[in-house]
Structure 1
């Protein structure tokens, strides 16, 4: 494959990813701005991706959205990693036993990626499968960060952009390191309106018998249902679910 062809493929992937970051769809101008390409280049790549069904284009609002081909591949990836058939029953059992929303996430570069969730009977979480979120503001992200391989953890602690999502978000690097050290010691991570105002969450790592990190599983609840203190009473159920998931799920690569 020539350098030119390889470069074109890389640009197409960046355009595809940029569209995926816009849940309500993106215009060609949005994409060109996000990826830093000339409008003509972005438009040409978008047209190719539409033609191959990786994107869909709605002429009414002139927005591009992820296409059915992406859904098909995503379903296959979810199945091959066990996120659907193997993990879903465990999450359903966790939600049934706690009456709160349960989520399964994996480490994806410098973000967490939600791969499965089950909404609680009385409240729907705002995170859906396929969405990526900040590590330092979320319970899932902190758990993944704390129990990642040493070199990965140290790299992320040194390089994460510590942007604030709420006024309670950690934005100081030394404070984040102290928080992650505490998570490693206690075995669980929490967030108290650090990621979303009005929400608390509790997460633990999902690990193999050898101790390798596979994912993080979390419970999330609105503050009118739980405080961080009362959510911690559900920690035993959460740890049981993590142990079962660790036995069921293959390593995520």
Structure 2
């Protein structure tokens, strides 16, 4: 019997619904969920009702939008805390956060998205709504840092699929401009996010590589607010430290 025959299509569609959600998203209506997953509204209603009853999703009674529920968030946090990879990289990130007083994110690249696996918040960024995963890599420093070092053919295919949605008036929405910026990232060794994801938030991101294959596997980013640093000052003070931290984490990722 083939592997395909052993797959539960119903379960697969249900997991696709959960895969839509991330902290960066403002939530989805029932119609949006149905359209994105490719199922009827009746089927979507059955799925989301079950998820809400089990605590995996929650529906805002005022807006009607569905968002991640506490059970999903608790499960994700538990998985991250028990991860061997996180156990190894945590002291590196914690030490850097303590030394520089910055918000630090570590994300892994998979399926055209970057998924957060470890975060150290800072007082400077508590007011901002940070990502848990991002399916649009172009407006994050970590996303652009990873994109820049994807193998050229795979990058071209990704760029063809990528919808350059504007998150702020500074978000890059032109393919040629994004390609030029990715070239700069390759020259510098790190990427910049100058209020492209949220007004008032700046970041720099450096790629993580598998030392065995040489392939890019994710990125690490430093974040701050424009109330504390200008973009130029932030780069000058911390880009070198970021690139060094990325090298240390790459060694851990490759174990």
Partner of 1:90: 92
**How far off is 1:26 after superposition?**
5.8
Partner of 2:162: 160
Pick the aligned partner of 2:240 from 231, 236, 242.
236
**How far off is 1:209 after superposition?**
3.0
Instruction: Kindly provide the CA deviation profile for residues 117-153 of structure 1, in whole angstroms up to 9, marking residues without a partner as x.
Output: 111244324214x332521122111101011233322
Distance 1:181 1:70, change over 3 A: same
Distance 1:112 1:98, change over 3 A: same
Partner of 1:212: 215
SS in 2 for 1:230: helix
What is the total number of aligned residue pairs between the two structures?
248
Partner of 2:253: 249
Partner of 1:226: 229
**How far off is 1:249 after superposition?**
2.0
2:59 matches 1:55: no
2:198 matches 1:196: yes
**How far off is 1:5 after superposition?**
6.7
SS in 2 for 1:237: helix
**Structure 1 unaligned residues grouped into runs of 5+:** none
Partner of 2:139: 137
Distance 1:65 1:121, change over 3 A: closer
SS in 1 for 2:46: helix
**Structure 2 unaligned residues grouped into runs of 5+:** none
Task: Give me the TM-score of the superposition, normalised by structure 1.
Answer: 0.81
Partner of 1:39: 41
Q: Give the Cα separation in 2 of the matches to 1:240 and 1:65.
A: 35
Partner of 1:68: 71
Distance 1:221 1:57, change over 3 A: closer
Partner of 1:15: 17
8 A Cα contact 2:114 2:218, kept in partner: no
- RMSD between aligned residues: 3.2
Q: Give the Cα separation in 1 of the matches to 2:167 and 2:26.
A: 20
**How far off is 1:33 after superposition?**
5.4
